[in-house]
Structure 1
Amino acid sequence: MNGLATNLMQRVGAMRWALRLASALCLIALGSVSSVSSAAEAGGAAGAGAAPTPRAVPAARKATNVAIITIEGPIDAVTAFSVERRMKLAEKGGADCIVFDIDTPGGEVPAVLQITGAIKRSPITNTVGWINPNAYSGGAYIALSCREIVVAQSATMGDAAPIYGGVAGIQQMAPTERAKMLSPLLADIVDSARLRGYDEKLVQGLVILGVELWMIRDKETGEVFFIDEDEWAHLFATTPPRGNPRMPSGAAPGSERPTPTGGGEEEVGPFVGDTTRTDRSDFLSGSSQLPASVAEEVSGQLEVVSTRPNFAEADASRYEFVTYATDGRALLTLTESDLKFFRLAQDTVKNDEELKQFLGATNLHRLDQTWSESLVAFMTQGFSGLIVRGVLIVVFLLGMFLELSMPGVGLPGLVAIAALAGLFVPPMLIGASSWWALAAIGGGIAMLLLEILVIPGFGVPGILGLGLLLVGLVGSFAGLGEMFPGAGSGDTSALTWALATVLTAIFVSAVGMYFLSKYTHRMPIANRLLLSPETTRPTDDNSMFGAMSATRTGDAAVRVGDVGRATTPLRPSGSAMFGEQLVDVVSEFGFVDANQRVRVTSVTKYRVGVEGVTEETA
């Protein structure tokens, strides 16, 4: 019995030790799991907060200080001036990369070419065109002039044929004008392609019709080319495959090809389809519809030699067909995916942070157009520019009229000078104002003063003065590098709008002059400057104001309604005899001939206003 009890107690003790050991092992296991879980959570949190592993940035792209220059809205002379100013500011600020943030429908051809030229000549060679999100027309030229292109989501680039975007809106150009504009545009975009490594035939599809291309790839280097039907025949000695192109034009397969871009029946140039040319600076057109004269002009304007290979049948095994790119029936308009597929864009960049990673940059700084540049654009460009200039011309003419009618007051003259400054200073800031126009206006004013104050009668000085004034005001609308509006581009509508604006302003000014001459003394504001007739009776005041109110022979005795006779022509100032008194007077409406009867209409401290009357009404 005792043995059994002892055995039982030993078993119970062993079980207790086993339970204790199991409990300890469980605690150790739970601690280990907790530690692993905590470590995993910490690692996950660290992973979530850590920056993604930076990708390798090519040395040519790597930048430390990046300046972002925004180009938004229509491109005009003010835009070009602003972009060049900001590029110089970026250079002085130590930027080693300039990104052009582009969102534009296009704009004026001279302004676009000025910007692309500045980009290509810039000492900062690391330039990036960021299509964010649209680069139509002129925006495509600017993007292609940069060393690299990146795109925002849903970006679009293309449709870069020359059009006229005047005050009346976008209009199609006549064939002759279009042909004239094509040569500098084609030369610029082909030069950009050669300089930046884009396919020079593909970019032509943005500008002209008839550019039918097939995409092939070099098996050894991976480089892609876009070849036309003639190059395909030289390389593969077969007929190229057709079907649905990568860039659909909306035209049915086999439909009629587009008509010549330049218009007319001119012979196709020798550079079209010439795959064996020896001069590497020659223009190799991608369109069978381009006139010979345009091709020759483009060839003469190119500055960068071509590195495009001469495709021969011996090299056929080196290349592989990729896709039928475009049928040439419509201008190319490329989306985000198209731009990357055709090797025009490098990557998609959504925001400044991704741009910073793309460039491996440390600092990014945006350089936007200033408010003063926006104000200059509002005052000089488009329909708003016509309205503002028309108002300034009206203010200038009315101010000049009031100053001549009330000599000595000074305020109208200052207003006229301010309006003239508003007419010329903003264009001068962008280099678009002609000095000769300002000189013509000054000469016109001098001739009119000579006619009014020195030479009696309305003769040669008066006619010459009015002519100079009209020509100078129209000339103030001239654009950058133009003598007259539209002279640089051959577009007569710019001159028509300028002339219409000036003539309308002159008409409005004439109406204003009539009301000012007839009703000035009745206006509340003018009453503060003018004395009523009852207060202008003669007095014995010997003060300065009394002396100023006196005329040669006692003008103060003249009252409103008195009738006299002009002794000199009133144009508008002169002299009139009232009884035995010779009085200095000013005609308040129109010119009055000498010896014509006049009636006093207003009397102030500084002037006596009269109007011409007939013998019957006197």
Structure 2
Amino acid sequence: MSSGFQIFRKIAPMLLCIAMLAPVVQAREIIRKGDTVIIPLRGEVSPALYLFLRRGIKLAESAEASAIVIEMNTYGGRLDSAEEITGALNRVTIPTYTFIDSNAGSAGALIALATKHIYMAPVSAIGAAAPVLSTGQDLPETERDKTISYFSALVRSMASRNGHNPDLGEAFMNKEKEVKIGDRVVHAKGSLLTLNAQEASEMINGRPLLADGIAQSIDDLAKKAKLGGQLVRLQPTGFEQFAFWITALAPLLLLLGIVCAYLEFKIPGATLPGVVAGICFVLFFLGHYLAGLAGWEAAVFFVLGVTLVLIEVLFFAHSTIIFGVVGAFLILASLFWAMIDRYPDQPLVPSTKMLLVPMLNLSIAIIASMIVIALLARYLPRTSFYRRFALMAANPSGPSFSAPREFVTSRPIAPGTQGLAVTTLRPSGKGRFGDQVVDVVTAGEFISAETPIVVSEIDGMRVLVTRTQTSY
């Protein structure tokens, strides 16, 4: 069996695992230019919901959709997630709508104010956005005042930007806020503001109080707002929470993937490290795709980079480094690219702020993997586990038609004996010393066939060799 085929067989499990990304890519919703994208926002406002909404926004803008409609039914949730969602909506360049189908309570009310237009179902409500503890209890007084002060300012700015009355947004959060339009007191202080559909759409001084109108359904909203194209509804995959943890553990996944890829080549005959490495990289790209960070392009460039490195190893070893260098660059660039939070309207060259998290994650993974690999290269060949695999690779099971090996204890081989590698040492193989061909193993380096070698150590039947140093 050729050494090239053996190397390909080693890397095949990792490539097979990475190929698992294809069904995910093909499962993406098809959005055409001019369509209206419906993004459901249901249940608790959470980090997973933010990841789903961010992915939907990027898909819609990339496809040049005509509008985004947030279909909302939530009693609220985490304020930090609501802040991230409103930040994503405030940067959208296409028209945004919220259709309140029943409830836009607490954090949901803040998110609705981050869209340009609000429509409400006949029986629905919006408001009551006071911050509370996760248990439902009120915040301590000082913390409550700080939180209300900060988010009131944020909501006022957001409401003004999107054409809504900023006093309404503040009254959603602060029960001490009075809302007055002209001479009419819309809401007296002393309680949090909550509006039903009829109140929110009431015309005051020639314009609606908050909602553009009442709609029976998304289809009715599309007709009243004269939205173009087909209505394309995105659906959460159910893996958004999984994606949240994947992005949080990105450095660990990269570390494990790099180390296992190293072990796949280091340990002769082993395939499990390659499978684990492939799974790690699949989880990495899949998680970042579901989180709305990476598209399928990043995974394609990663596979292309691995392919170029394989071409370098299989066909151009010791003759050129172009394929290997380009492949390594594509691998690192794809990993880096997958972690950049870039929106379609932003410049192709990312800003410094966008690069901080990817640089930190990749630096941690690379530095940690270098340390782990250095330790493995030093100590792994000394372990019985490694020797067992090396022996299995040098002496495969099954019938042999070659001449039987002769174990000569008095063979004239000692440290310093020079010879020639008969086969490629990866790291085990065969070496010729005079008229003897014996099983040898390196300390981890790969040595091509016909390369001069020298015995550095003999441990029982184990002959450790290194490349002969050429002096000039």
Q: TM-score category by the smaller chain?
A: 0.5 to 0.7
Displacement of 1:467: 1.2
- The reply to whether residue 476 of structure 1 matches residue 331 of structure 2 is no
Cα distance in structure 2, aligned partners of 1:501 and 1:558? 53
Q: Which residue is 1:514 aligned to? A: 374
What is the aligned partner in structure 2 of residue 320 from structure 1? 183
Paired residue for 1:578?
433
Paired residue for 1:337? 191
Q: What are the Cα deviations for residues 261-292 of structure 1, in whole angstroms up to 9, with x where unaligned?
A: xxxxxxxxxxxxxxxxxxxxxxxxxxxxxxxx
Q: Which residue of structure 2 aligns with residue 357 of structure 1? A: none
- How far did 1:137 drift? 6.3
Distance 1:602 1:423 in 2: 43
C-alpha contact (below 8 Å) 2:168/2:179 kept by paired residues: no
- What displacement does 1:203 show? 5.8
Q: Which residue of 2 aligns with 1:466?
A: 328
Among 73, 80, 83, the alignment partner of 2:53 is: 80
CA contact (8 A) 1:441 1:468 kept: yes
Corresponding residue for 1:611? 466
1:128 aligns with 2:120: no
2:151 maps to 1:159: yes
- Could you say if the C-alpha distance between residues 83 and 73 of structure 1 is closer, same or farther in structure 2, counting changes exceeding 3 Å? same
How big is the shift at 1:471? 0.7
Taking structure 1 as the reference length, the TM-score comes to: 0.43
Cα RMSD (Å): 5.7
TM-score by length of 2: 0.54
Secondary structure of the residue aligned to 1:494 is helix
Pairs aligned (count): 350
Query: Match for 1:70: what amino acid?
Result: G
Report the counterpart of residue 30 of structure 2 in structure 1: none
Find out whether 1:101 has 2:101 as its counterpart.
no
Is residue 262 of structure 2 the alignment partner of residue 401 of structure 1? yes
> 305, 313, 333: which is aligned to 1:444?
305
Identity across the alignment (%)? 17
Which sections of structure 2, spanning at least 5 residues, go unmatched? 1-39, 58-70, 133-147, 172-176, 201-235
CA distance in 1, matches of 2:402, 2:245: 45
1:599 paired residue number: 455
Given candidates 351, 372, 378, the residue that maps to 2:245 is 378
* 1:421 Cα offset (Å): 1.0
Matches of 1:345 and 1:75, distance apart in 2? 32
Equivalent residue, structure 2, for 1:424: 285
Aligned residues of 1:597 and 1:615 also touching (Cα < 8 A): no
**SS across alignment from 2:455:** strand
Alpha-carbon separation, structure 1, partners of 2:298 and 2:404: 41
How far off its partner does 1:465 sit?
Answer: 2.0
1:237 alignment counterpart: none
1:564 aligns with 2:427: no
Matched position secondary structure for 1:504: helix
Equivalences for residues 184-223 of structure 1 within 5 A = 189-190=162-163, 193=164, 199=165, 202=167, 216=180
Q: Secondary structure at the match of 1:544?
A: coil
Q: Deviations over 1:274-325 (max 9, x none)?
A: xxxxxxxxxxxxxxxxxxxxxxxxxxxxxxxxxxxxxxxxxxxxx63659x9
Deviation at 1:477, TM superposition (A): 1.1
| Structure with more contact order per residue of length (Cα contacts < 8 Å, sep ≥ 6) | 2
What is the alpha-carbon distance in structure 2 between the residues aligned to residue 431 and residue 215 of structure 1? 38
2:277 matches 1:410: no
Residues 127 and 429 (structure 1), Cα distance of their counterparts in 2 relative to 1, 3 Å cut: same
Equivalent-residue separation in structure 1 for 2:117 and 2:403 (angstroms): 72
Q: Where does the alignment leave 5 or more consecutive residues of structure 1 unmatched?
A: 1-66, 85-96, 164-181, 194-198, 207-212, 217-224, 226-318, 326-333, 347-368
2:341 is paired with a residue of what secondary structure? coil
Q: Residue 103 and residue 426 in structure 1: after superposition, are their counterparts in 2 closer, same or farther (change >3 A)?
A: same
Amino acid paired to 2:257? F
**Equivalents in 2 of 1:578, 1:545: separation in Å?**
26
CA deviation map 1:211-268 (0-9, x unaligned): xx9965xxxxxxxx2xxxxxxxxxxxxxxxxxxxxxxxxxxxxxxxxxxxxxxxxxxx
Q: 1:500 is matched with which residue?
A: 360
Deviation at 1:151, TM superposition (A): 4.8
Bigger Cα Rg:
1
The residue type equivalent to 1:320 in the other structure is D
TM-fit CA distance, 1:498: 0.9
Aligned-partner Cα distance in 1 for 2:285–2:269? 26
Residue type of the alignment partner of 2:74: F
Q: Give the 3-state SS of the residue equivalent to 2:77 in structure 1.
A: strand
For 1:558 and 1:107, the matched residues in 2 are separated by 73
Query: What residue is the counterpart of 1:544 in the other structure?
Result: 398
